[in-house]
Structure 1
C-alpha cells in the first residue's frame, strides 16, 4: 500500500499507524497551508491532562500560501518551551532517557520553514523506532489521487480517530487513558514495543 499523507509535527498515533503499515510514503508538499491543523501542532499528556504544543508560523489567511512556503516565527524560544514541556510530562516515563538525547537536536537547530522541521522530525522518529521506509514528495497536487491510499484527512484536528488500544501512560491514574496523542507519548511509554503497537491499530 502506498500512503499519501501530510508531514506533521510529531505525528499522532493514528497518523503514524498509517505510516508504519504502508509500503511507501508520499508526503503531500504541494497543497495550500491551512490553519488549525496538526501541520504545526502536536498533543502530549501533561500533569493536567492533554497539552498542545504549537510551532508559531508566519501565515495570513488573506494571502494563500503553499505549505512548503510557510515560515516558522522563530521567536519567544518556542523550542526551549516545547523541550521543557516534554521533560515535565515524560521525565518519569520508562523510556524518556533512552530517546531524549536523540530528539534533542530538533529543539536546538533553527528551522526556517515548518515543512523542513516536520520532515526532519519524521526522520528522527524513524531512527528512534528503527523503521525503514521508502519516502517520496509529491510534485503536483491531486484532489483525488490515483494508486495511493489517501490519509491526508488525518492532518485535521477535528478528525474522529479510530479506537486505539490502551497502553500505560504516565498520568493514567490521574486522568485516565488519553488516546491518539503524539507518537512521543507512545515512544516514551512503550519504547521498543511502539512499532508492534502501531502495526496492530486499525486504519
Structure 2
C-alpha cells in the first residue's frame, strides 16, 4: 500500500467491531464517511463479528429489537437489552483471548464495552471504531451521512463508494495478512476475523500488518 493516504472520502457502511479486511481498506483514506442511512441487512457485519476459538470461528452477534428485518436505517436500529448479552459475550471474549499476548493490556478498556448500556447499535459501533483508531494510532476523520447517498452522487462528494463490498464470512482472505493466532495449532489460520483478534495477538503492531509492513516470520 502507498504511504500516501488518498485525499478522497471513503463512503462505506458502518461495521460492528470491524473485520480485518474492512480496517485495511479504511486506513488507506484520511476521511471516513459512514452511511448510517442504509437499511439494515440480516446477517451483515452491522451487528456481528467473528473471533477465534479453540474449535474455529466464533460468531458474536449483537441482539436487536423487534423489527430488525424490516426496512430500518442503521441509525435507528435499537439493541435488545432485555437479556444479558453483554455478560455472555464478555465471557466468550475472555475465554478466547486470555492466553493472547495483548489481552491483559487492553482488558480494562475492553470490559467497558460490555458494561456500558447501549440503546442504539450505531453508538456501540462508533465507540468501537474510536477505540480501534486510538489503539492503532489512526488520525483519520470520522463523518456520518445525514441522508442516504445514491451511488451516482458519490463522485460529487469526491468519495470512493465501498458500501456493501465486505460481507461475512470472511470478507477477504488476503494471504498477506498472516499472524500467529491463539488456537492456530488446533484450527489452522483463520483469515479475516474481527480486528480485535489481530489487536489481541499483535497489539499496536496490528497496524503494520494492515499496511503490509510487518515482519510475519
Q: Shorter-chain TM-score: what band?
A: over 0.9
Instruction: Confirm or deny that 1:171 pairs with 2:183.
Output: yes
1:4 aligned residue: 11
In the TM superposition, what are the counterparts of 1:186-197 in structure 2 within 5 Å? 186-197=198-209
State the TM-score, normalized to the length of structure 2. 0.87
Which of 35, 39, 57 is 1:28 aligned to?
Answer: 35
SS in 1 for 2:29: coil
1:97 aligned residue: 104
1:43 Cα deviation (Å)? Answer: 0.2
CA distance in structure 2 between the aligned counterparts of 1:130 and 1:182, rounded to whole angstroms: 18
Counterpart contact for 1:57–1:73, Cα < 8 Å: yes
CA distance in structure 1 between the aligned counterparts of 2:49 and 2:17, rounded to whole angstroms: 6
CA distance in structure 2 between the aligned counterparts of 1:159 and 1:108, rounded to whole angstroms: 28
Counterpart contact for 1:6–1:155, Cα < 8 Å: no
1:125 aligned residue: 132
Which shows bigger deviation, 175-184 or 62-71?
62-71
- Larger relative helix fraction: 1
Q: Which has the higher contact order (CA 8 A, sep 6+)?
A: 1
String of CA shifts for 1:92-125, please: whole Å, max 9, x gaps: 0011111121121111110111111100111111
CA distance in structure 2 between the aligned counterparts of 1:158 and 1:50, rounded to whole angstroms: 10
CA distance in structure 1 between the aligned counterparts of 2:109 and 2:138, rounded to whole angstroms: 15
1:55 aligned residue: 62
Instruction: Confirm or deny that 1:71 pairs with 2:78.
Output: yes
Q: Unpaired runs of 5+ in structure 2?
A: 1-5
Q: Unpaired runs of 5+ in structure 1?
A: none
1:143 Cα deviation (Å)? Answer: 3.0
String of CA shifts for 1:70-99, please: whole Å, max 9, x gaps: 100013211111111111001000111111
Cα root mean square deviation, aligned: 1.7
1:153 aligned residue: 164
String of CA shifts for 1:37-67, please: whole Å, max 9, x gaps: 0100010001111000000001426742111
SS in 2 for 1:39: coil
